[in-house]
């Protein structure tokens, strides 16, 4: 019976998916007399947290109520005041927490403060679901690196383009719409320079519904080969004051400094990253992105970037859209390039695999770590 209230809190938290970074998604529900008297979610970093919104919605009914919250309430002054103080002041008698906050400045301390104020505390209700809700936040707050999703759209025989490099469109329209929804939810999308040169993408969000956001666009371009008239550069220049259109190009130190300066003048953020066999060191790039408070990255790269990302160990989650098409040919572009593994025992195993349908396509998703 009580699980339904935590499920409701999770559903509330999900309404702000892609909007709370670098904060977690949090939902809260207040029960009194067997009825919901207040509920809320955290909508955006810098705005009131879920518990405060739920208490404000409940008003005087919060007193002697029970609050269900997906994450341990904060107990420190950040962009907003500590939620523990508001909960204590409201007169709530019991709190049910989905998961302990992994943030070291909160972890266990919020629970301790609430217990010390005489509020009954229970933890671990639907803990697995609450952790899945905030897998991005957990990765970021514990490692200071973004959660990385690798997205691949391929044919049934594992090709992402024909021998003539034709790739539009392998998967169905519903799958492409789902990818745009994923872009709307992550902080950033990342491609290699090969994809830019071949496809000249925008990497923006195109959805019929309103209230969408464009992700930060990251280009892995060790030699700074990106054309000044590419769609990504033009769109960034046209709206350089908008955080939503921010573009980051990762380069090595051996680049044309004059061109780099020209791009900076257009509002492009050029960051120098260590080399790894004449390529961008991807783990080092993730560290730099973490310093920028980028908590999630979706890789929409080509064959070589996909391979490099998997080999470097930066990928947390994979999602493969598989179209019922056979492209064939030795010259067709494989989903994952590189040399590959010599032994099956060395291959990467995916866990917690789910299989679904999207239009005519099969969608396979799972985790690497």
Taking the C-alpha atoms of residue 201 and residue 153, their distance in angstroms, rounded to an integer, is 15
Taking the C-alpha atoms of residue 228 and residue 246, their distance in angstroms, rounded to an integer, is 16
Q: What is the largest CA-CA distance in the chain?
A: 70
- Tell me the C-alpha to C-alpha distance, in Å, between residue 236 and each of 89, 204, 227, 291: 47, 11, 13, 22
Chain centre distance of CA 314: 13
Active-site option among 51, 185, 300, 304: 51
Torsion from C-alpha of 273, 312, 154, 247, nearest 10 degrees:
-20
Q: Which two tokens stand for residue 11?
A: 């559903």
Taking the C-alpha atoms of residue 160 and residue 169, their distance in angstroms, rounded to an integer, is 10
DSSP code for 253 = S
Torsion from C-alpha of 335, 244, 139, 142, nearest 10 degrees:
150
**Where in the chain does DSSP place strands (E)?**
27-32, 35-41, 66-71, 94-99, 120-123, 147-155, 159-161, 188-192, 216-220, 247-251, 269-272, 275-276, 279-280, 296-299, 317-323, 333-334, 351-358, 361-367
Name the phi and psi angles at 284, rounded to 5.
-65, -40
Decide if 51 is catalytic: yes
Question: Residue 29: how many CB atoms within 10 A of its CB?
Answer: 30
Quick check: 309 and 279 in contact, CB under 8 A? no
- Tell me the C-alpha to C-alpha distance, in Å, between residue 39 and each of 28, 45, 91, 119, 152: 6, 18, 16, 19, 38
Nearest-5° Cα angle at 268, 310 to 177: 55
Q: Which two tokens stand for residue 108?
A: 């266990």
Instruction: Enumerate the active-site residues.
Output: 51
């Amino acid at each position: 019976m009580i699980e339904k209230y935590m499920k409701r809190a999770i559903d509330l938290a999900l309404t702000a998916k892609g909007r709370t970074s670098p904060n977690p998604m949090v939902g809260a529900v207040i029960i009194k007399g067997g009825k919901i008297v207040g509920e809320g979610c955290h909508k955006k970093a810098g705005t009131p947290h879920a518990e405060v919104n739920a208490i404000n919605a409940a008003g005087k009914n919060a007193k002697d109520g029970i609050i269900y919250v997906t994450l341990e309430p904060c107990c420190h002054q950040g962009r907003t005041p500590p939620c523990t103080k508001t909960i204590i002041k409201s007169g709530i008698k019991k709190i049910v927490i989905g998961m302990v906050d992994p943030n070291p400045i909160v972890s266990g301390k919020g629970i301790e403060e609430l217990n010390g104020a005489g509020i009954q505390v229970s933890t671990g209700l639907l803990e697995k679901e609450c952790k899945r809700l905030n897998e991005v936040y957990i990765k970021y707050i514990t490692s200071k690196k973004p959660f990385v999703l690798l997205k691949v759209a391929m044919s049934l025989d594992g090709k992402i383009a024909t021998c003539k490099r034709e790739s539009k469109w392998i998967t169905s329209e519903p799958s492409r719409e789902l990818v745009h929804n994923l872009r709307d939810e992550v902080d950033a999308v990342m491609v290699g320079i090969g994809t830019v040169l071949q496809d000249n993408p925008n990497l923006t969000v195109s959805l019929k519904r309103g209230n969408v956001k464009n992700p930060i666009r990251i280009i892995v371009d060790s030699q700074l080969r990106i054309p000044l008239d590419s769609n990504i550069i033009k769109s960034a220049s046209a709206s350089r004051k908008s955080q939503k259109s921010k573009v980051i190009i990762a380069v090595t130190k051996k680049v044309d400094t004059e061109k780099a300066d020209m791009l900076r003048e257009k509002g492009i953020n050029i960051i120098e990253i260590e080399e790894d066999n004449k390529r961008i060191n991807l783990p080092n790039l993730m560290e730099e992105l973490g310093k920028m408070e980028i908590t999630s990255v979706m890789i929409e790269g080509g064959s070589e970037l996909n391979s490099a990302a998997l080999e470097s160990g930066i990928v947390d989650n994979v999602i493969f859209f598989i179209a019922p098409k056979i492209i064939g040919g030795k010259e067709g572009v494989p989903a994952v390039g590189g040399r590959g593994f010599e032994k099956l025992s060395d291959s990467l195993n995916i866990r917690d695999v789910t299989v679904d349908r999207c239009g005519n396509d099969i969608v396979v998703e799972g985790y690497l770590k």
